[in-house]
Structure 1
Amino acid sequence: MKTFKVLAAVVALGSSVSAYAYQINDEYVGKDHGYGDVIGDTSKFDVKGIDVSVSGTMLTVDVYTHFVNHVGVFNNYVTDTALSQKKGIAFGDLFLSSTWTPNGEADTGYLDDRHSTGTKWTYGFNLDDRWSSVGGDGALYELNGAANRDNAYLSNNFINGRYATYRHGQEVAVKTSSSTVTSVGSGSWLVDTVNGKVSFTFDIAGTDLLKGDEIAFHWGMTCGNDTIEGKIPFSVPEPGALALMGLGLAVVGLRRRKQSA
């Protein structure tokens, strides 16, 4: 049910920068309660898809969602804690892993998948102010706990279940106070209401995400009313290959100079 389409894969000859663009379509449901893909108003919560672009080791992840125009809604449904601050439903953090292992069947939207049964997320990009309507700064964390709940707050931590129907058990925010998470980098995020997307940009240099041949993603707003997961093929040029490529270009340039002399 989840499909992946490579929109473009361009590698410029002799360049040390590889540019890729991918799309993950949102057909993932995860742990459900009989309400289908989106719980509640689709005009507020629907997630359409993810585009990923790469320049060297710098990732930009664009999540297309109607929620960009509705951050802060339903402040009467959030829990009365410092975590939610009674500001309403907010942007969730972006979770990543070098493998995607959802639980359940693709043709039903992985209905058995939740924090305890699905992919073990190994990195998370945490937002500085998730209620911001414009964006801000962020930090990339390595998630070292044995289970997702050791490293992440769930939708249950943000929503008061006595008054609201929402998707339970979804990882929505990095638990930065946990002893099992470690900050490994910084970045930024941007809310683009014109194009209907929230963008996350950060460097994955030095992370284990570079060691595999794919990167998996997970994102949802703090209530989890719509959640998107999926993976893209991923690779970066080996440093040795880049060095050989640069040497080859230098030789070509030298020959051209000699021929024109």
Structure 2
Amino acid sequence: VLALLTGPGHALSINQADYDAVKGSLTYTADLLTDHSGGSGYSVYGISCGVVGDYLWVSVHTNFPKSGLTGSDSYASGNLFNPGDLYINVGGTFQSANGSAYGVATTSHGNNVTQAYNTWGNPVVEGGLYSPAGGGPFFADGTYEVYEATLGVVSPSDGDGSIVKNSYPTMIRYGQAVVGDNSGTAYLANVGNPWNYDIVYKVSTAAIGYTGAQDLQLFWAMECGNDGVECVKTGEVPEPATMALVAAGVTAMAVRRKSIV
């Protein structure tokens, strides 16, 4: 029985003005410019991420168009490769297979990867936030299996220890909607930078349980996995002075309680 991928009721709207208002608060992580396979359309330049207010903002900087690109992978030729979905991991990474995983659908889609997968959940809705539902892998993997073997040095590694298997999470495959107005996405044309597009995502931190104390991984790759990029944020550790104040407060409360008793 296939696990259903039911869509959220609504997605948050994002426009250029919204992104312009927050992008100065985001941290930019550059990707290697020598680790994309195929033409320049497959190149990912970097990723920006950060928390502004109650929302996590992510922007993927790439030449890959929303309409996709046609090419060959390890399964067939003449495929239309689609933009991937945003992979989010709170408390872990996909390489280590731990933490709590989420995904934001970049486009509305079902099984666009029929050359590699016979089974798939129901379609996802553009901008919707999803969590694993069981019944199969949460995300599909990249379909250009010899990506690492062909390129040699790639960043990030997919962590599977094999150069002839592509384990980049690319598109939501089996998941369930996180109900509510929790997320949104926009594919914005870029002007003034080397890349053509900013794929912008906005996600409620409460919806994914992110407080800033946990490690956070954000990853994006197109369907074929010809290039990938990640942002990794280390969980914030309280300052020693803060910990001392907390300890002093606990001690003071204990003394007061003892004097009352």
TM-score (normalizing by structure 1):
0.54
The runs of 5 or more residues in structure 2 that have no matched partner are 1-21, 111-124, 151-163, 192-196, 237-261
Matched, 1:221 2:222: yes
Q: Which amino acid aligns with 2:101?
A: T
Q: Which amino acid aligns with 2:173?
A: K
The aligned residue for residue 202 of structure 1 is 203
Contact between 2:107 and 2:127, CA under 8 Å: does it hold in 1? yes
Q: 1:219 and 1:212, CA in 2 relative to 1: closer, same or farther beyond 3 A? A: same
Q: 1:90 aligns with which of 82, 87, 107?
A: 82
The aligned residue for residue 43 of structure 2 is 46
Q: 1:68-147 maps to which residues of 2 (within 5 A)? A: 68=65, 71-74=67-70, 88-101=80-93, 122-129=101-108, 137-143=126-132
Q: Provide Cα deviations, 1:29-69, integer angstroms capped at 9, x if missing partner.
A: xxxxxxx611112x11111111124222212211001113x
The runs of 5 or more residues in structure 1 that have no matched partner are 1-16, 29-35, 81-85, 103-112, 236-261
- For 1:129 and 1:78, how far apart are their aligned partners in 2? 25
The aligned residue for residue 4 of structure 1 is none
Q: 1:188 aligns with which of 184, 188, 191?
A: 184
Is the partner of 1:44 in helix, strand or coil? helix
Contact between 1:72 and 1:87, CA under 8 Å: does it hold in 2? no
Q: Provide Cα deviations, 1:88-118, integer angstroms capped at 9, x if missing partner.
A: 111100011123547xxxxxxxxxx5xxx56
Give the structure with the larger strand fraction: 1
Q: 1:214 and 1:20, CA in 2 relative to 1: closer, same or farther beyond 3 A? A: farther
Q: 1:62-73 maps to which residues of 2 (within 5 A)? A: 62-68=59-65, 71-73=67-69
Q: How far apart are 1:141 and its partner, in Å?
A: 1.5
Matched, 1:155 2:160: no
Percent of pairs with identical residues? 21
- For 1:184 and 1:206, how far apart are their aligned partners in 2? 9
- For 2:46 and 2:107, how far apart are their aligned partners in 1? 23
Q: Provide Cα deviations, 1:108-147, integer angstroms capped at 9, x if missing partner.
A: xxxxx5xxx566561111234369xxxx94111123659x
Q: 1:99 and 1:88, CA in 2 relative to 1: closer, same or farther beyond 3 A? A: same
Q: 2:35 aligns with which of 29, 34, 37?
A: 37
Q: Which amino acid aligns with 2:204?
A: D
- For 1:160 and 1:211, how far apart are their aligned partners in 2? 34
Q: Provide Cα deviations, 1:145-168, integer angstroms capped at 9, x if missing partner.
A: 59xx62111223xx799xxx8972
- For 1:67 and 1:124, how far apart are their aligned partners in 2? 19
Contact between 2:90 and 2:99, CA under 8 Å: does it hold in 1? no
Q: Which amino acid aligns with 1:191?
A: Y
Q: Which has the higher contact order (CA 8 A, sep 6+)?
A: 2
- For 1:87 and 1:40, how far apart are their aligned partners in 2? 13
Once superposed, which parts of structure 1, at least 4 consecutive aligned residues long, lie more than 3 Å away?
75-80, 99-102, 117-121
Q: 1:54 and 1:122, CA in 2 relative to 1: closer, same or farther beyond 3 A? A: same
- For 2:145 and 2:90, how far apart are their aligned partners in 1? 33
- For 2:89 and 2:211, how far apart are their aligned partners in 1? 10
Q: How far apart are 1:27 and its partner, in Å?
A: 3.7
- For 2:100 and 2:35, how far apart are their aligned partners in 1? 22
TM-score (normalizing by structure 2):
0.54
Contact between 2:87 and 2:102, CA under 8 Å: does it hold in 1? yes
Q: How far apart are 1:193 and its partner, in Å?
A: 2.1
User: How many residues are treated as equivalent by the alignment?
Assistant: 177
